Amino acid sequence: MRRGAPIVLASASPRRQELLEKAGLVFEVVVSPAEEIHDTTMDPEALCEWNAALKAEAVAAQRADAVVIGSDTLVFLDGEPLGKPADFGEARSMLRRLAGRMHRVCTGVCVIFPGGGRTVFHDTSEVTFLPLNDSEIDAYHALVNPLDKAGAYGIQEHQERIIAHISGSFENVMGLPVDKVVAALQAESDCEAGGIG
């Protein structure tokens, strides 16, 4: 990574911003204009990585000087992606389907470095929901806005009301496997330092 290169997060997600801040990174936010694709024929991992790359590429075209981080998180139930619900009715329907079952959360990440180099990867976690009835779902949605969240829930808010068990990275379910992001940034920095020395 070029010394002093600014880091840009290509996402408006406050959860991703929070995770990067907790990791001690200083960064800017430039919301990507890229349109996500929703191709149910693609593997979950490939779809998330593809969308992450689309987001990162659109911002990197504007900020060639920066390290650009693009990310895309999807909830998959029986291999079907669950995106952000259009309204509260769809949000309730999603939680009905997730209730009492295990599903996968996949986040794809694309990091584009100054000069055009990139690294693309994903992380997957498994989340098991508690059994939920409609009143419990409505009570949860009264506390947590589901409309900006894939799968109509947020792991970082009132998880005790809906989650029985998480296997894998908690941060990945939030929207960014931040440990892997930091490792990718450090690996590029170490490589650059080695080249200089």
Catalytic residues: 72
Please, what's the b/e burial string for 100-139 (b: 16 or more CB within 10 A of its CB; e: otherwise)?
Answer: eeebbbbbbbbbbbbeeebbbbbbbbebebeebeeeebee
For the residues of 93-109, what is the DSSP string, one character each? Answer: HHHHHHTTSEEEEEEEE
Q: How far is CA 4 from CA 26, 27, 30, 59, in A?
A: 11, 12, 18, 18
3-state helix, strand, coil in the chain (%, to 5): 40, 25, 35
The whole-angstrom distance between residue 2's C-alpha and the CA centroid of its chain comes to 25
Query: In this structure, how many other beta carbons lie within 10 angstroms of the beta carbon of residue 49?
Result: 22
State the Cα torsion 83-84-90-91 to the nearest 10°: 110
Tokens of 23: 């990791």
- The amino acid that residue 9 corresponds to is L
